[in-house]
Amino acid sequence: MGEIMEIKDLIIDDRQRGVFRVHRSSLTSDELFQREREFIFSRCWIYLGHESEVESPGDYRRRTVAGRPLFFTRGRDGEVRVFLNSCPHRGALICRRDEGNAEVLQCFYHAWSFNMDGDLIGVPDQEAYGPHFDRGELGLREPPRVESYRGFYFVSFNPHVEDLVSYLADAREYLDLIVDQTEAGMRVVRGSNKYTMKANWKLLVENSLDGYHLVPTHQTYLDYISGLGSDDSGQTASARIVGKARALGNGHCVIESPVRSGRPIAHWHPLFGEEAREPIAQVRQELVEKYGEERAFRMADTSRNLIIYPNLVINDIMANTVRYFEPLAPDNMEVTAWHLAPRDESDAMLATRLDSFLTFLGPGGFATPDDVEALESCQIGFRATETEWSDISRGMLRPAKSTDELQMRGFWRQWHANMQGFTHTNVQDGPAVEVEAEAELALASDN
Amino acid sequence: MTTASQPTLREQVEDFLFKEAALLDDWRLDDWVDLFTEDGRYVVPTTDLPDGDPRRDLVFIDDDITRLRARAVRLNSRHAHREYPWSRTRRFISNVRVEETGDGELAVSSNVLVYRFRAGEGAPYVGSVDYILRRDGGAFRIAHRRAVLDLEALSWHGAVSIIF
Ligand code: FES
Ligand SMILES: [Fe+2]
């Protein structure tokens, strides 16, 4: 691709007239893709995995995060550690299975071996290196920063990144709403959805919290759900609430909406079967006792789609999903989705929860394949380069509803700031605050 | 004793599987669903957990007859966007093994290769499909159909949007 536009011109953000447009080269250009790797994926916090994926000492999981091969493991001291998956000798992958348990990992190439703390503990024929050879210098490298929030682990390749809790900004509360559903904690269910979309990763950000597309795109799902009957238990208050969209700061965003079908925690729907009615009512009652009616209502009777900037989606809808996407090229990404469930759930409720997931979600569900089609369709449409701009203005001049696009603007404003080298910006619509926030823009410290 | 006029059990099962494949390649999904018993089930585990149990693990598909019918309705509509217009598919079934399990049921396993072509691209789904078949007069009905993909991820198709 030839000359690219100036980065500052890639977005039109006219807060007075309520016009927001993104230049489509942001979704197709190789140069901008490379710049994202450096200015976003090498500087932000990026999701790694969940604590429950390495339950016992020696458990490990292999991942690719921001392009880097990594693995994480639980040490004998119970701590989670993350290592770059590359032999300090001459590069080979140390961890060559997606998951497992080990006390020692040996590089197959020249047989150096490492314990699960990353220490180099064995070098065949070590004398050949002479007396100054220092094993201590040649242990496995760790990413510069690793932090977790309530079981969710993130890494950053930027040593100067702000701490994770302040990075998460107002998104924290939404993680709390999920984790607080159970005292026993959440765990990742076995089995994951791994699929590829030939589309730019930012389209999946938009799509993951796009309330506007639900009715037109997912008609077959909505027909199926309404064909099963509706909830007559009196919990339908949620159907009356108007969903809303929020930009949460730092590019994180959320839509909060009424329940369309059911929620394992804790909103019954005929889909779940009569026998689940009582247990779900009981879970809801426990939430009321613990958190009061207002928060319990929110946890049980409303749904949320959350983006943790830049590339993590956490859905708290008919199931709890964690969806991570790894950009592969401007028009390609690999998606991995996991299912979260309370650790202490009964077998029957777990089965109900799993079933609920499958109606809508996953590459074999009644909705996700159509999202794949929508995104790939957009990406092909971008080849019509004379249509230069995408419009993301919906709801810009009113308090944003969940069918509006404020949440996408919040994401794009953060993206735009990052791509220009700023770490923070005003992600909200309001024209008044804009001037003030511009003044606060700070250059990323270095790196 | 085998004669030309009396097909072996395996040949009978193969005939059944070939007919099923033709129904699917012809997108005659309502007829395909009619092959199932009322308590029938169609399961596709995830690529990373081929022995996944739908009651405890995340799978791609776990349809009872109600959801299976709804799946056919969806795919027959114009609103299953990944399959509208329908893809072209061609199925190859081989290595069929049949075991009588008593009580009139058969445990069948088969190797399956399905090529799917759409929107200028084509790629295979490869794996095994295991059945529990029940005799119904002279015919068979599907009580359980478990399709296990050999793919490491859904890297080519992005979904299981057809019946595998
Ligand atoms: S590359 Fe690992 S031991 Fe040589
Ligand atoms: Fe969607």
Cβ separation B155–A376 shorter than 8 A: no
Strands A104-106 and A99-101: unpaired
* ipTM, 2 dp: 0.95
Identify the nearest ligand to the CA of A368 by its number. Answer: 2
Distance A61 CA to ligand 1 centre (A): 20
Cβ separation B153–A359 shorter than 8 A: no
The nearest CA of chain A is from the CA of B11 a distance in Å of 31
- For B9-149, CATH number out of 1.20.1300.10, 1.10.10.10, 3.10.450.50, 3.40.50.300 equals 3.10.450.50
Which backbone phi and psi does A262 adopt, to 5 degrees? -135, 170
Closest CA to A95 of A103, A105, A110: A105
Cβ separation B57–A190 shorter than 8 A: yes
Distance B140 CA to ligand 2 centre (A): 38
Q: Domain boundaries in chain A?
A: 46-156, 170-410
Architecture of the A46-156 domain: 3-layer Sandwich (2.102)
Distance A125 CA to ligand 1 centre (A): 13
pTM given for the model: 0.93
As a whole number of angstroms, the distance between CA A218 and CA B80 comes to: 8
Nearest CA in chain A to B162: A364
Amino acid occupying residue A100: G
Q: Domain boundaries in chain B?
A: 9-149
As a whole number of angstroms, the distance between CA A107 and CA A89 comes to: 9
Establish whether domains A46-156 and A170-410 are of one fold.
no
Residue A85, both tokens: 């998956």
The finding on whether A91 has its CB within 6 A of some atom of ligand 1 is: yes
Chain A neighbours among B 3-42 (CB < 8 Å)? none
As a whole number of angstroms, the distance between CA A317 and CA A295 comes to: 16
Nearest CA in chain A to B75: A220
- Number of neighbours of residue A179 by Cβ within 10 angstroms: 17
CATH topology of domain A170-410: Naphthalene 1,2-dioxygenase Alpha Subunit; Chain A, domain 1 (3.90.380)
Chain A neighbours among B 104-163 (CB < 8 Å)? 119, 152-156, 158-161
As a whole number of angstroms, the distance between CA A263 and CA A267 comes to: 5
Which residue in B62, B77, B161 is closest to A369 by CB distance? B161
Nearest CA in chain A to B74: A220
CA distances from A310 to A78, A415, B26 (A): 29, 8, 43
Residue pLDDT tens, chain A, 447 long: 445 689 999 999 999 999 999 999 999 999 999 999 999 999 999 999 999 999 999 999 999 999 999 999 999 999 999 999 999 999 999 999 999 999 999 999 999 999 999 999 999 999 999 999 999 999 999 999 999 999 999 999 999 999 999 999 999 999 999 999 888 999 999 999 999 999 999 999 999 999 999 989 999 998 888 888 765 444 444 444 568 899 999 999 999 987 877 888 888 988 888 888 998 899 899 999 999 999 988 888 889 999 999 999 999 988 899 999 999 999 999 999 999 999 999 999 999 999 989 988 899 999 999 999 999 999 999 999 999 999 999 999 999 988 999 999 999 999 999 999 999 999 998 854 443 333 333 333 333
Are the C-beta atoms of A346 and A328 separated by less than 8 Å? Answer: no
